[in-house]
Amino acid sequence: MVPNGTGDQIMSPPDASPAATRAQAANAVRLRDAARTYSVGAVEVPALRGISIDIPYHRFSMVIGASGSGKSTLLNLIGCIDAPTRGTVEVCGEAIGALDDDGLADFRARNIGFIFQTFSLVPVLSAYENVEYPLVLVGTPESERRRRTMAVLDAVGLGAHAHRRPNELSGGQRQRVAIARALVKAPQIVLADEPTANLDSETGAAIIELMHRVQAESHTTFVFATHDPQLMSQADEIFVIRDGTIVERRHGRSNA
Ligand code: ADP
Ligand code: MG
């Protein structure tokens, strides 16, 4: 069970980011004919076959589809972890293809929180240090780092386990550390690859509630890849992906 936190405003942005002060683009994410082909030996695997979508700001948008349909590949493009082999990706009005490596790393550090399917926690760091790290990257002062890191760890119900390393936590607890790490800097966009896949339904519900709170406080844009019906029921927008192609866009909760 995840407690509700302190009632404190936990997710206010640490500082005004360049993207936040720029004139806002109409959508948080804009893809045009974005394709990604993996080369496996002599074989070309077309994971995404030319996707053109607009994902609105300040919503819960979800990419749903069968295993192998291209959800993770799509999230990786939006998260600037991977580049398209064709087409363009724009995030918060920034044309990702135009940034050099440093520019991309800086843009990602300031604007994007990523919850990986495999958590990707650093094994030698404690839960506290894992969650604090994104704030170190953007130069947040130590006292502010401490306040924010503990607030978000409390919010996911792990305040008492802050000193533990990932191998001293259960799968669900590690997942919650990964969620706390993605939220701690109050990024404009949080991308989450099957974030509730390893959680029981009660913890999953508490995590979803936490994300709603973050969204209400910070106007965060959430983009999920999921096939969890409990999470899907919370979607404002649903993009159905099949064999690397978006085959349907459905409106959810707020647009019924
Ligand atoms: P999903 O997240 O929906 O399960 P993925 O985006 O992981 O789908 O994968 C889409 C397709 O691309 C699948 O056919 C998968 O096998 C392939 N794929 C994904 N990552 C790689 C990779 N690193 N190398 C080769 N093929 C890959
Ligand atoms: Mg996946």
Average pLDDT, rounded, for the chain: 88
Segment 95-150, tens digit of pLDDT: 999 999 999 999 999 999 999 888 899 999 999 999 999 999 999 999 999 999 99
Q: What is the pLDDT of residue 5?
A: 43
Assess contact for 17 and 188: CB atoms under 8 A.
Answer: yes
Verify whether ligand 1 is closer than 6 Å to residue 45 (CB atom): yes
Cα separation, 33 vs 173, whole angstroms: 38
Tell whether ligand 1 has an atom less than 6 A from the beta carbon of residue 35. Answer: no
DSSP string, 69-89: SSHHHHHHHHTTSS--SEEEE
- Residue with CA at minimum distance from ligand 1 atom 18: 47
Cβ pair 130, 116 in contact under 8 A: no
Q: Which domains does the chain have, with CATH numbers?
A: 58-84+95-255 (3.40.50.300)
Question: What is the model's pTM?
Answer: 0.88
Distances (CA, A) of 57 to 50, 75, 84: 22, 16, 22
For the beta carbon of residue 63, count every other beta carbon within 10 angstroms.
Answer: 28
Enumerate residues 6+ apart whose C-beta is below 8 A from 115. 178, 179, 181, 182, 190, 191, 192, 193, 195
Q: CA 231 → CA 61, 91, 115, 202, distances in Å?
A: 11, 24, 15, 12
Beta bridge partners of 238: 62, 250
Per residue in 42-73, pLDDT (tens digit) is 999 999 999 999 999 999 999 999 999 999 99
pLDDT tens column, 195-247:
887 778 887 888 888 888 888 888 899 999 998 888 888 899 999 999 999 99
Report CA(82)–ligand 2 centroid distance (Å). Answer: 14
Ligand index nearest the alpha carbon of residue 116? 2
**Which of 37, 43, 72 for a ligand 1 pocket mutation test, highest count of atoms within 8 Å of Cβ?**
72
